[in-house]
Amino acid sequence: MAASLPRDRLILLVGLITYGMGQSLLFVIFAPLARQLGIEEWQLGFIIAASNVMLAFSAPRWGTASQSLGRRRVYLIGLGGYTLGYAALALGVQAGLWGWISAGPLFVLLLVLRMAYGIVVGGVSPAATAYIADTTDESSRAQGMALVGMSGGLGTILGPAFGGALAFVSPVFPMYAAALLAAAAGFWAYAGLREPVRHVQSGPTAKLRVFDPRILPYLVGWFVVFGVFTGIQTITSGFIADRFGLTETVEIQQTMMVALLSMAFVTVLVQAVVLQRWKTTPATMLKLGFGVMVIALLVIAWGPGVLALYVGYALFGFSFGFCAPALNAAGSLSVTAGEQGAVAGLLSAAPTVGMIFGPILCGLVYSVMPSAPMLGGALLTALVWLWFLFIKVPDPQPG
């Protein structure tokens, strides 16, 4: 098993990178096209949130199912659903651009497609997270989870560059290409991924409750991080246009692309370099990460000029680089070996719940004041930071 682990982990990371690319493409390629499709900002928020509603229900179930069906099988099902769902979304957007379907029916179609996508794709992240939990000991758990987070950040970096390189073919072509990449990652996983030796216990599959006090702080942390993260991204294109007076779609896309690239680059730097060398505890990572996130949101809200926007997103990437692996590691270390699949599902579902409410709420309050989403996010993040200052976060035991 040890000899094949590096390849298995590489296969997982490649699949997660393609997943991250698809997520960043959604904001960089699809969001700026919304007005051209006749879709209002609040409708865009609902479309983005739609798949997350289903993910919130499906991810815990897929995580628990991975205990009996196997991490490999659930991971493959998730990648297959991602491939088909993303291709279907691209076809729907293409139909709207060609004028084959009007704005109202298109809105409903995209909602349905995103919901169907969310049901099946929910297996990718919990299966990969549980796989890493199965193949690491407590002392290396945070570093293993950092690799999972790094892959998403690397996908976020590659997504805008990938989309920009292929957008000359057509505005939607990068979405088709992303679906093909996901299919290739799925075929590689089918051919080369082995089922890990799981940390299981005898008896029925372990189940966890959302309000289990052992894991509740980390679920709330994920909810806030991704609620703020996706909500801010949803309104960023409008914020750029209104705050900096940009009117050209290409200009707005490029500005947003640089902001996302700066965030993703710092995230990967933290998770691939800093955390692989600095063997710190999840508690330290959480305190540092959430504290910097408050500063990042204030810089985005009040910083002067486009450069401040880029700096704010880079600081957000720094904070996310610490928070993401720490939340997963702390949640994993808080439960028993036989509960790893269940906790992986809940840790994957919590961000999606945030992704349901974040885009909707930010879209609604943006009309009141453009900086309101960032200021509200800073307040929520500060409250979570204070929480982590006063609770005991589990420390990994030496391996």
**Of 270, 222, 230, 271, nearest to 388 (Cα)?**
222
Residue 202 clears pLDDT 50, i.e. is over it: no
Radius of gyration of the chain (CA): 20
Q: What is the pTM of this model?
A: 0.69
User: Quick one: pLDDT at residue 153?
Assistant: 58
Lowest mean pLDDT among 75-84, 128-137, 360-369: 128-137
**Of 74, 70, 79, 46, nearest to 62 (Cα)?**
74
Residue 5 clears pLDDT 50, i.e. is over it: no
Mean pLDDT of all residues in 165-177: 79
Lowest mean pLDDT among 156-165, 174-183, 355-364: 156-165
Can you tell me whether residue 7 is helix, strand or coil? helix
**48 versus 301: which is more confidently predicted?**
301
- What band does 140 get if pLDDT is binned at 50, 70 and 90? low
User: Taking all residues of the chain, what is their mean pLDDT, rounded to a whole number?
Assistant: 81
Residue 68 clears pLDDT 60, i.e. is over it: yes
In words, the CATH class of domain 5-194+211-390 is: mainly alpha
**363 versus 227: which is more confidently predicted?**
227
User: Quick one: pLDDT at residue 145?
Assistant: 64
The tens digit of pLDDT for each residue in 26-40 reads: 767 777 777 778 887
Contact criterion met (CB below 8 Å) for 157 and 364: no
Lowest mean pLDDT among 187-196, 224-233, 263-272, 322-331: 263-272
Ranked by mean pLDDT, which of 126-130, 165-169, 175-179, 377-381 comes out on top?
377-381
The burial of 184, by beta-carbon neighbours within 10 Å (0-12 exposed, 13-18 middle, 19 or more buried), is given as middle
**Of 388, 392, 360, nearest to 373 (Cα)?**
360
User: Quick one: pLDDT at residue 200?
Assistant: 45
Distance between CA 79 and CA 16 in Å, rounded? 9
User: Quick one: pLDDT at residue 251?
Assistant: 77
Distance between CA 160 and CA 270 in Å, rounded? 20
- What band does 1 get if pLDDT is binned at 50, 70 and 90? very low
Buried/exposed 315-350: b ≥16 CB within 10 Å, e otherwise: bbbbbbbbbbbbbbbbbbbbbeebbbbbbbbbbbbb
**5 versus 45: which is more confidently predicted?**
45
Residue 302 clears pLDDT 70, i.e. is over it: yes
- What band does 300 get if pLDDT is binned at 50, 70 and 90? very high
- CA–centroid distance for 58 within its chain: 15
| % the chain with pLDDT above 70 | 85
Q: What are the CA-CA distances from residue 122 to residues 55, 75, 80, 274, 295 (Å)?
A: 5, 9, 11, 29, 32
Structural domain boundaries of the chain? 5-194+211-390
User: Quick one: pLDDT at residue 187?
Assistant: 93
| % the chain with pLDDT above 90 | 20
The tens digit of pLDDT for each residue in 211-235 reads: 888 889 999 999 999 889 878 877 8
Distance between CA 96 and CA 333 in Å, rounded? 47
Question: Which residue type does 291 have?
Answer: G
The burial of 2, by beta-carbon neighbours within 10 Å (0-12 exposed, 13-18 middle, 19 or more buried), is given as exposed
